[in-house]
Amino acid sequence: MRLLFLGDVMGRAGRDVVAERLPDLIEQCRFDFVIVNGENASHGRGITEAHYELLRDAGADVVTLGDHAFDQRELMTAIERHDTLIRPINFPPGAPGRGATMITGRNGHQVLVVNALGRVFMPPMDDPFRAVDNAIASCPLGEQADAIVVDFHAEATSEMQGMGHYLDGRVSLVVGTHTHIPTSDHRILRGGTGLMSDAGMCGDYDSVIGMELEEPLNRFVTGLARARFTPSEGEATLCGVAIETDRGSGLCTQIQPVRIGGSLSQALPQF
């Protein structure tokens, strides 16, 4: 089974590169399932229902979120209408929506997607390790689920790597989101789980993590806020990670970074 995960979609530039590039990529690489983190898709903060639908139309089977999940207030109710739109599973009890979903892929595969939020340098949340444990306990890999993907939205690469080793042998892929910077540590762990600390973003890299340069640089240099951060709208790079899984076990057999278009060096999946 072939799965594609795309990192944080950042503003208009990110939406445009996904809409332009994803359909051809799915056809070219024959991906069975696609997951897109959309938590910055709308003006760099959160996602609207319309932009969620845009990502779905481009080919996303599931859209995950993060700490900005409800920055667009309309999502407080809209998320309840969509089982393919999930927020972090370790939000406090009573948060709208769901943190995990089981979806049937293009070739009939059953894929469990779990979204969790880290706690290092992040707002206080429930224990993500226990929350993910509970989500996968009733849906073991290779039995009820043909593949399990965990989007761990976290600030610290140490916590991302910790989650990967904690789940090694029990899920197909653990991939980090949130920092918007793609890491080069993609690998298959000893137990057969694919890991990449951060998938990067789908957005304009001639920026500061997707924002126009001027105001972030001003704040670094002067320590003063003079304007709002504005999403950069230059040519974007589509960033993520692709894996192939074993038909029987659901564990990862191949893992490759994906970078298409824009200013980063290209990396196309070659299965």
Number of helices followed by number of strands (H, E) in the chain: 6, 14
Look up 186 and say whether it is catalytic: no
Residues 6+ away with beta carbon under 8 Å from 134: none
Residues 6+ away with beta carbon under 8 Å from 27: none
Of 43, 68, 82, 180, which is the active-site residue?
68
The candidate with the shortest Cα–Cα distance to 249, out of 190, 199, 191, is 191
Q: d(Cα 162, Cα 156) in Å, to the nearest integer?
A: 10
For residue 117, with 0-12 CB atoms within 10 Å meaning exposed, 13-18 middle and 19 or more buried, which class applies?
buried
Q: d(Cα 259, Cα 242) in Å, to the nearest integer?
A: 10
The candidate with the shortest Cα–Cα distance to 110, out of 135, 149, 150, 147, is 147
Residues 6+ away with beta carbon under 8 Å from 243: 2, 3, 5, 172, 173, 194, 252, 253, 254, 255, 256
The candidate with the shortest Cα–Cα distance to 128, out of 169, 156, 96, is 156
- Answer yes or no: are the C-beta atoms of 23 and 57 closer than 8 Å: no
The candidate with the shortest Cα–Cα distance to 216, out of 237, 230, 195, is 230
Q: d(Cα 257, Cα 264) in Å, to the nearest integer?
A: 12
- Answer yes or no: are the C-beta atoms of 239 and 182 closer than 8 Å: yes
What is the set of active-site residues? Answer: 68
